[in-house]
Structure formats: C-alpha cells, structure tokens
Amino acid sequence: MQKLIKKQWFAVLCAVFCTVLWGSAYPVIKYGYAQMNMTAVPDKLMFAGVRFTLAGLMVLVFAWVRNRRFPTVPRERAGGVMLYGVLQTGLMYIFNYIGVANTTATKTSVITAASGFFAVLFAPLFFKGEKLTVLKIVGVLIGMGGILLVNTDSLGGFSLMGEGLVLLSTLLNTAGSFVGKRVSGGIVMEATGWQLTVGGVLILLVALIMGGSYPLSFVSLWTALYLAFVSAAAFTLWTALLVHHEAGKILVFNMLIPITGAIWSFFILGERQMLEPMFLLSLLLTAAGIVMVNVRKS
C-alpha cells in the first residue's frame, strides 16, 4: 500500500476520494441539524466534538487490532501530534463553526476554497523540496475562479466574528496539515487517531463551557457515526498522502470540497445548484487549476 500511495496517479485518486467523503459531510450535517432542531453554536460544537472524538477512537481501535498493540507515538513526536490535533481539528473547527454562524454559506465556500492557495503559497517556506512556480500560482487562481463563479452573490462585507474566523480556521487547517506532514511519517494511523481524539475532546470542552448539549436519538447516533467514519477514513488517507507527497499538491484538492458538497447536496437534500450551467464551468476550472498545480515538468 505504501508503494502504491507514492504513485502520483493513485495519490490523485485518493485525494479526490477524500474530497468526495468530506463533501458528503456537509449535507449530512445540515440534515442532522434540521432533524435535531439544532441551531445554537454550542450545540453544534458539541455535535462536532462527539463526531471527531468518535473518529479518533475508530482509528485508534483499528490500529490496535491491526498491529496487535496499543497505538502509541514516539515520545519525541508526542508534542507535535498534540499540536496537530489542536490546530487541525480542535481550533480549526471551533473557529469555523462560530464563523459560519455569523456569515453566509457562500462566503464560507469561497474562503474555505482559499486553503489551496495558502498551501501552495506557504509550503515552500516550510519544506525544502517544494517550490513555488508561476504554473502553481496560476493553477490555484484558476481553481479559485471556478469556486467564485458559483458563489458570486452576496460576497461583499467582512466581519471579524464571521468571515474573519472562517479565514482564521482556513489558515489553521493549512498549518495543521503542515504539522501533520512533519510528525506523521511512519505512524500515520497513530498520529491521525490521536490528533482526532485530542481535537475532538478540545471541542467538547469548549462546547461544555459554552453550555452546549447533545440530544440522544436514532438520528443523532447514525449521523454522528457516519460523520465519524468519514473523518476517520478521510483524515487517515489524507495524512498518508501528505507524508509521501508535496503538501501544496495535495492540499490544493481542498478546492474540490465545495464542488463535491454541492453534488452530494443534490442527491441528499434536493438542492439544485449542480444543475446550473455555471456549476459545470466551475467544476472544469477547478479541475484545470488542480491539474496545473500537480503537473510534472518534463
């Protein structure tokens, strides 16, 4: 598997698969909120905390069964793995959930898609093997242009507690990915499991302090379990991709998440955005941008 994941064509398929999984999370979360009458931010954070804690435990149990030993990380990497969880899952989702509550879904999609730009721009500062090229910059700008095409309404205005926190969460996501790339070599499942658990517990603590609650019902249980599986599978595979490939070339696939989210929303919620002519053009531009970032020089 490790030899296969090093191949670029397989890495591209895996990255797209991760964005398909993450894209499915958006309509499932929206459906869960509606079924549970969940509108308050503390309650949504509690939901997220349950999701990511369960996801972390899923990965750790799987690693335990597979390796027949309790999943641990080397002492010298323990601090890095905890930082990975605090940035990638904990603070990133805390700020994201609060920010989303104070802005529109349109602005959130555009700002979140910018994570690909941040990854390509900052990766050369942290990793010697990565270079910033004109082709990469143009590719990211074209990809972001595709996202903007289907999110042109109500983009004006900026608030610190809305767009500001969503932007901060996007930067934290990029920073967390960089930390994960550094600390996860050789311990992908262990690092992923612990980072999700640490981040999930942090979110739970913040939600409890804010007075959040989590209703127990069939809907709340199956949505939490599905979303936990999505996070466990996607984050484990994503971390493995980051370990074996340039961060910028993998993280640029984040721009596909709003696209896959819209496709899933059509099938799950009946939202018809993917049937609009601009959506197909947006998909083509986003794909073209990703190809330009990942193209190999002859």
- Smallest CA-to-CA distance from 253 within 281, 297, 286 is with 286
Token output for 104: 């529109």
Max avg pLDDT among 33-47, 99-113, 252-266:
33-47
- Confidence category of residue 45, pLDDT binned at 50, 70, 90: very high
> Is the distance from CB of 174 to CB of 118 less than 8 angstroms?
yes
| Number of domains composing the chain | 1
> If DSSP states are collapsed to H, E and C, what string results for 211-249?
CCCCCCCHHHHHHHHHHHHHHHHHHHHHHHHHHHCCHHH
Report pLDDT for 107.
67
pLDDT at 113 over 90: no
Q: What whole-number distance in Å separates Cα of residue 205 and Cα of residue 220?
A: 19
Residues 234-272: pLDDT tens digits? 999 999 999 999 888 888 888 788 788 878 888 887 877
| Dihedral (Cα; 128, 133, 137, 138), 10-degree rounding | -160
pLDDT at 298: 45
Task: Provide the domain limits for residue 208.
Answer: 2-294
Cα gap 81→251, rounded to integer Å:
19
- Binned at pLDDT 50, 70 and 90, residue 10 comes out as very high
The answer to whether residue 297 scores a pLDDT higher than 60 is no
pLDDT tier for residue 17 given thresholds of 50, 70 and 90: very high
pLDDT band at 64 (very low <50, low <70, confident <90, very high): very high
Terminal C-alpha separation, the chain: 27
The two counts, helices (H) then strands (E), for the chain are 14, 0
Confidence check: pLDDT of 177 > 60: yes
Per residue in 202-225, pLDDT (tens digit) is 999 999 999 999 988 888 899 999
* pLDDT average, residue stretch 18-41: 88
Residues 136-146: tens digit of each pLDDT? 888 888 877 77
Amino acid 247: pLDDT: 85
Residue 133 pLDDT > 50:
yes
How many whole angstroms separate alpha carbon 134 and alpha carbon 139?
8
Residue 3: what residue type?
A: K
Identify whether the C-beta of residue 286 lies closer than 8 Å to the C-beta of residue 140.
Answer: no
CA dist., res. 128 & res. 101, Å (int): 38
d(CA 215, CA 112): 29
Burial 79-94 (b: 16+ CB within 10 A, else e): ebbbbbbbbbbbbbbb
